[in-house]
Structure 1
């Protein structure tokens, strides 16, 4: 019974410009680790072959070092790999693939499906029907050729393609690189391994997207997975199992804080979030001084546990209570300034509101620092 490891959308050479440099480097490095984990999984699960359904590289211009590192990372599995060009690394006349060959970086067990046709893996009982992209965007279904490709009857017919299955997107979206939803049935395929959708997605019993093995977006689409596919024989329905590969979970929260319990619940979720993760939080609403201090402390702790924690508080108003102001001894002119800054957060435009919030946070912090040393020294010399 042939067993296949299906993966796609490695996007090697991707750079994460929205993150600090240390985090960006770590996230890029995690993609190489993902390839090593794929090779380990293929070996542990005794897979007969690994199929990579496009977008191995994020761009044609990746560095030579990146190319070499990709193929080095695959060395943990000595069986056949079949790699398909996608829209990011299309098989142009001069491409990242032709450069890889000039560098002599492609191992003997790696089959580059740079032209439409069949990759025969007779020893593994597989005939891989490939539909490589030879340009970034096409508007015809390249998998239509599968209907006419002949293969040995004793071999499994497995399609390998990269593009958008028709009918998944809104009707007014003209998706490039279309693929017919019933291609597996039309071409008598035992399995159709697809790339381009960055999360696991089942189209039908024989047609699946594997998604990217290492998440790179804040989407709840089950990224970070590879698929192990068992097919008993020609015509048998595939048995597909998901296997976690990704190192970092990407979590995005949008929270509106109205009362103290809203903040408490948020901080509880943050404390319970498995590490390491990439966390993006955007807050709106309001918080008092005590809540602000709890939030800042929790974020500081989380930043040490997780790969990246970004928190946008520009829409979160800082609203000291009357008790807060009384404890700060902010009477007279200071009290008036605090009152003005509180009002400006509500009445000003977004930029001025954020400035007012920052000014209020700085002012109250200074006042608190002035009080705390004084209260801390009050008992000195007492028995």
Structure 2
């Protein structure tokens, strides 16, 4: 049975400027490693081709070294790689693709689908109809030509496109690079492999977005996978299965803290995450000094274990308990300062006030007379 791997939106050369430099480098490297895993799967499963539905590169300006590294990453699979230009790497007159050809970096088994023309693979039993973008944005449906394209009846008709299927986005959003809903049926396609949508999405029985194989956003949209597509023959039902290939798992959490048990649960959740996590955590609510210290300790441990951890404390208020104040021996002027800082946590300087209160509490605890400290 003919089978394929469908993937898209590799965006090789992507930069991660909002992350710390070591995390940014690791996340960029992960995209090469992910392609290598796709190549290994393609070889292991002996698929007939790997379909890459656009945005192989993140930009036209990636370095020659990145171009060479990308094509080196394909080496584990000797079958056909079918690479389609997307909006990030459109087939301009002078493009990342023309540079790759000039560098002689493109292996013989890699097919650059730079023009809208049928590519036949009779020995493997399929023909490919590509809709390459030749500019970053267009308001014309580049898959129109699929309907009238002639292919041998014995070959599967596989479409490859990069853009937005009409009717999926909200009605008031005018999306560029449109693709007609129902194109697979209109063009008698056995399968239409799409890119541009970074999450996994089925459009109809024969049309899928594979999503980016290496997650790069805090969205629970099925990213981080590759699709295995099996088609018994022309006109037969398509069998599609998703397989994890991503190296990092991106998660965005919001945790409400009111009770000690909320902190216990947050710490347990952190402990359960894999080391390959990229976590964005927002904390809100109220905690006392001992609770805040527990959170800080747990997050410090997690930050050393995860690929990246960003914690937002802005909506978490520090409210020292009566026991905290007794243990800190906060009275007189210090008690007034503590009270003022507590009140300021409700204003525009909340984060500064909370940090100041934490620093003051720590200093007071560290300089308390012997025997006055409590164990937490």
TM-score norm. by structure 1 comes to: 0.95
Deviations 1:92-140 (A, max 9, x none): 1111100111111100100000011111112211101000000111111
- Report what 1:307 is aligned to: 307
Post-superposition CA distance 1:255-285 (Å, at most 9, x none):
2222222222222111111231100001122
Match for residue 360 of structure 1 among 357, 360, 368: 357
Structure 1, residues 290-346: CA drift from partner, whole Å, max 9, x if none?
111110111011112211111011221111111101101111111111011001112
Aligned pairs (5 A) from 1:1-383: 1-346=1-346, 348-349=347-348, 352-371=349-368, 374-375=370-371
SS in 1 for 2:32: helix
Higher percent of residues as helix: 1
Q: Which whole-Å CA distance do the structure 2 matches of 1:34 and 1:121 have between them?
A: 26
Over 3 Å counting, the alpha-carbon distance change for 1:360 and 1:142 in structure 2 is same
Tell me the number of residue pairs that the alignment of Structure 1 and Structure 2 aligns.
Answer: 373
Calculate the TM-score normalised by the size of structure 2. 0.97
3-state SS of the aligned residue for 2:118? Answer: strand
State the SS of the aligned residue for 1:236: coil
CA distance in 1, matches of 2:297, 2:354: 18
CA distance in 2, matches of 1:257, 1:111: 54
- Is there any run of 5+ residues in structure 1 with no aligned partner, and where? 378-383
Aligned-residue offset at 1:376 = 9.7
Contiguous gaps of at least 5 residues in structure 2: none
CA-to-partner distance for each residue in 1:226-255, whole Å, 9 max, x for gaps? 001110000001111111100110010022
Question: What is the alpha-carbon distance in structure 2 between the residues aligned to residue 156 and residue 54 of structure 1?
Answer: 21
The CA distance in 2 between the partners of 1:43 and 1:79, in whole Å, is: 8
Structure 2 residue aligned with 1:381: none
Separation in structure 2 between the aligned mates of residue 84 and residue 321 of structure 1, nearest angstrom: 61
CA distance in 2, matches of 1:283, 1:117: 53
Q: Report the alpha carbon displacement of residue 178 of structure 1 after superposing the two structures with TM.
A: 0.8
Aligned-residue CA RMSD in angstroms?
Answer: 1.3
